[in-house]
Chains A and B, each alone.
Chain A
């Protein structure tokens, strides 16, 4: 019995947390679609998420594409199937690696920053101050971040797709001796609209999750610097896990028939 008690408590606590996040999400979305809108703040967040994440996402993508080509070569050459490299690279990058790796990198960068900023605003009463100045914190702080996450992650992933494919191309041409024309032709011929589209949909979902977790944990942080630190960690961890879970769900929706 004493063994079951903590287990049950954890389970109930988990349910409660899910309920809180769901309520928060509902409220955030409802508020985001109602005026007033803050175009200035939306733009600022878009630049923060979209533009300033480009270097880290680009680096991730190019090395992922490169190593993908290399690994596929070492594996596939055992069956004399090296010609499949461009296909493997383009499919893996557009469907999975582009969105997931970009999502995880941005979760580390943006999710943490959002949680830290909003958490600090919470514990220094800046969020309360907003309320007293006739400004709804959900509309002013959260809506711009959700909108920017939802729209900028697909853009980032589109860029990551191109850079990742280019990474695979570089290794295939300069190291593995492929013919550039054939490689590109194979890539373009093989890839389907759905590969790219599903990847971009995933990116939108991930972007929403990253912003939501950053805002939720920042908003509900308590108790000074330590609370803000905890919120930051939680934002990154929960966003990363939710990205991996939702990645499976979206894949299942698109491709299982």
Chain B
């Protein structure tokens, strides 16, 4: 079984000062599957992804990619592993000094050494796949709406056809129709390219479309995981409260009444 795991996380701990965000967290992502992580705002979902990618250093634990321990790797080895990754950042993180098409083509040119002209062609095709016309390719990120920026970052994340793709809230800020298009696109990436996906979402509909498996993070750990189909009758009170969006339940939101 462990041979088929693309990502294997064990005992991951990460805190910021006194604040413990991840506390002895375990997570498995099987090869070629799409795992969706849910959890309340501020529960450490983005931090988890950043630790796996190597943008943040956890204090403790182990992270294996393709059976290879990545914590404590040399910078050069790390760069090699990084080539397998594509990432859609929650905030988009588009390069605002470059036009849209160069943003999308960036990984092809910088990472794979593709020629600018070929890379541009691929970039425009990827933009088409997220519903953006070639004219948009000549604009700068600041000239786009929030939803358009999100789609551009999605195109950038998948442009180099990475083995493992991380989507941090891919559909937040999109209209329902475009959300569905993006959901299907993510599904397609996993099904057609055989990519492994680790996504974060608050959108239950999106989860039902893109997820093979689901996991819930609470209090720094994964408190439940299982097949995506089981999420509606997980038998776990935390998951049930989250899925049904109730304000009463074991998860207490630290808000006071007016």
Report yes or no: B82 in contact with A134, Cβ–Cβ below 8 A: yes
Tell me the minimal C-beta distance from A46 to chain B in angstroms.
16
Q: Does B79 contact A (CB under 8 A)?
A: yes
One of B88-96, B230-238, B243-251 contacting the partner: B88-96
Tell me the minimal C-beta distance from A174 to chain B in angstroms.
46
Interface residues on B, range: 20 to 34
Report yes or no: A125 in contact with B93, Cβ–Cβ below 8 A: yes
Tell me the minimal C-beta distance from B89 to chain A in angstroms.
5
Tell me the bound Cα distance from A128 to B111 in angstroms.
15
Report yes or no: B106 in contact with A124, Cβ–Cβ below 8 A: no
Report yes or no: A136 in contact with B79, Cβ–Cβ below 8 A: yes
Interface residues on A, range: 10 to 19
Tell me the bound Cα distance from A196 to B55 in angstroms.
46
Q: Which of these, A129, A132, A134, A136, contacts B95 with CB under 8 Å?
A: A129
Tell me the minimal C-beta distance from B116 to chain A in angstroms.
10
Nearest residue in A to B56 (C-beta to C-beta)?
A: A128
Interface residues of A in 121-162 (CB under 8 A from B): 121, 124-126, 128-136, 140
Tell me the bound Cα distance from A126 to B89 in angstroms.
9
Tell me the bound Cα distance from A128 to B47 in angstroms.
13
Q: Which of these, A117, A124, A126, A134, contacts B111 with CB under 8 Å?
A: A134
Tell me the bound Cα distance from A237 to B138 in angstroms.
38
| B160 cross-chain contacts in A, Cβ below 8 A | 133
Query: Could you count the A-B residue pairs with CB atoms below 8 Å apart for me: how many are there?
Result: 48
| B97 cross-chain contacts in A, Cβ below 8 A | 117
Report yes or no: B79 in contact with A129, Cβ–Cβ below 8 A: no
Using a CB–CB cutoff of 8 Å, the interface residues on chain A facing chain B are 117, 121, 124-126, 128-136, 140
Using a CB–CB cutoff of 8 Å, the interface residues on chain B facing chain A are 50, 53-55, 79, 82-83, 85-87, 89, 91-97, 106-107, 110-111, 156, 160
| A130 cross-chain contacts in B, Cβ below 8 A | 95
Report yes or no: A131 in contact with B91, Cβ–Cβ below 8 A: no
Q: Which of these, B82, B94, B96, contacts A132 with CB under 8 Å?
A: B82
| B110 cross-chain contacts in A, Cβ below 8 A | 133-135, 140
Tell me the bound Cα distance from A147 to B97 in angstroms.
20
**Which of A121, A129, A132, A135 counts the most B-chain CB atoms under 10 A from its CB?**
A132
Nearest residue in A to B86 (C-beta to C-beta)?
A: A132
Nearest residue in B to A120 (C-beta to C-beta)?
A: B96
Report yes or no: B93 in contact with A128, Cβ–Cβ below 8 A: yes
Report yes or no: A128 in contact with B79, Cβ–Cβ below 8 A: no
